[in-house]
Amino acid sequence: MSNEPSHSASRHLALDVADYDAQIRRLVPYYGDLLREGVAVMKALAPPAPRVLDLGGGTGALAEAVLEALPEATVTVLDVDPEMLAVARGRLARFGGRAVFVAGRFTDALPLSDVVVSSLALHHVPDIAQKTAIFRAVNEVLYDDGLFLNLDATMSADPALTALAYDHWLREMGARGVGEAEARGYFAAWAEEDTYLPLADELAALRAAGFPHPECFWRRGPATAYGARKIPGDAEPMAP
């Protein structure tokens, strides 16, 4: 998903939306683990019957995992890509009114929520200033004791460690049948729209947005689960 209305996942990933869920597991290391770890954090920290907002919810894979694991949860899936939302509607139809679908961008007004989650979407935000603004908007719509959780790829501020992370990514793609030339082609194409920021910068942006205690919950290679709780009365002053 993107904060740009023209974003198309099928064009960006060079694959048919119908093949997205199978292909993403070839292209993104530990995708299944990332979802499982994210849901485990939610189960531990979310309030009862949470109202969940899935930013850039795509085909609904994360929303499905949440709805299965938290039977009293409701999830609003927000995405700008109509093709992805159509797949999500079909995927989540069995949950009835527990799944709601909204065509929109990261920068649109967001609904009040107990939990805001995102999976492989916020890397489309091109710089840390814009991402901090989104984090601040998330903070504003979370109820007290609410949770923000982002599941995405992050890198290091050290170029050598970033190179190591890409080598790791290449090996994992190779283990799933993606040749090195094909993998590097994907990296080059994604670089036109994607920004994988250092994890330290992501956590600092959360602090600047009013989350005083951001945390990395799980990380393996570039795959990262990080976020923060909105703790009443414990927020640091927000950056102007």
Contacts of residue 55, Cβ cutoff 8 Å, sequence gap at least 6: 1, 78, 106, 110, 116, 117, 118, 121, 122, 138
Are residues 71 and 150 in contact, defined by beta-carbon separation less than 8 angstroms? no
Backbone angles phi, psi at 13, to 5 degrees: -95, -5
Mean pLDDT of 137-164: 97
pLDDT of amino acid 8: 52
CA angle 142, 117, 219 (to 5 degrees): 125
Mean pLDDT of the chain: 91
Cβ–Cβ contacts within 10 Å for residue 66, how many? 28
pLDDT of amino acid 217: 98
The structure's pTM equals: 0.90
As a whole number of angstroms, the distance between CA 41 and CA 46 comes to 8
| CA distances to 6, 111, 160, 186 from 227, in Å | 28, 19, 25, 27
- Split at pLDDT 50, 70, 90, the class of 124 is very high
Mean pLDDT of 118-131: 95
pLDDT of amino acid 4: 44
Tens of pLDDT along 60-114?
999 999 999 999 999 999 999 999 999 999 999 999 999 999 999 998 999 999 9
Task: Say yes or no to pLDDT of 12 above 90.
Answer: no
Q: Sheet containing 215-220: which strands, arranged edge to edge?
A: 99-103, 74-79, 51-55, 113-119, 142-153, 223-229, 215-220
* Closest by Cα among 169, 186, 240, 167 to 210: 240
As a whole number of angstroms, the distance between CA 11 and CA 17 comes to 9
Task: Say yes or no to pLDDT of 2 above 50.
Answer: no
pLDDT of amino acid 143: 97
Task: Say yes or no to pLDDT of 237 above 80.
Answer: no
Task: Say yes or no to pLDDT of 240 above 50.
Answer: no
Are residues 196 and 44 in contact, defined by beta-carbon separation less than 8 angstroms? no
Tens of pLDDT along 26-50?
999 899 999 999 999 999 999 999 9
Q: Does domain 9-229 have CATH number 3.20.20.60?
A: no
67-71, 202-206, 236-240: segment of lowest average pLDDT: 236-240
